[in-house]
Amino acid sequence: MSEDTDSVDAEHDEAGHDDHGHGTDHSDEAHAGRVTSPMQDFEMNQVTFGAVVMLVGVIVTIGLPVLLG
């Protein structure tokens, strides 16, 4: 091999892998303003809509097979 391929350049380590910090920043500061859904407030109309969607899903998955079977 030539000297160019044997030497380690600034962008690669000894094994030839890229050396530019993949996954090295795991600080909580990057997600400080992030809010997940269970922490957010919800209104009663959202609860009602979810209950109606669940009821329709239960009717479709259980009720239709019972009626057609």
Number of domains in the chain: 1
Q: 21-37: per-residue pLDDT in tens?
A: 666 656 666 666 776 76
Q: Is 18 helix (H, G, I), strand (E, B) or coil?
A: strand
Does any domain span residue 24? Answer: no
Radius of gyration of the chain (CA): 28
For 42, other C-beta atoms within 10 Å of its C-beta total 10
What 3-state DSSP class applies to 12? Answer: strand
CA dist., res. 14 & res. 54, Å (int): 56
pLDDT per position as a tens digit, 36-60:
767 778 899 999 999 999 999 999 9
Q: Is residue 51 part of a domain?
A: yes
pLDDT of residue 52: 98
Residue 11 lies in a domain: no
The whole-model pTM stands at 0.43
Determine the structural domain holding residue 50 and report its residue range.
41-69
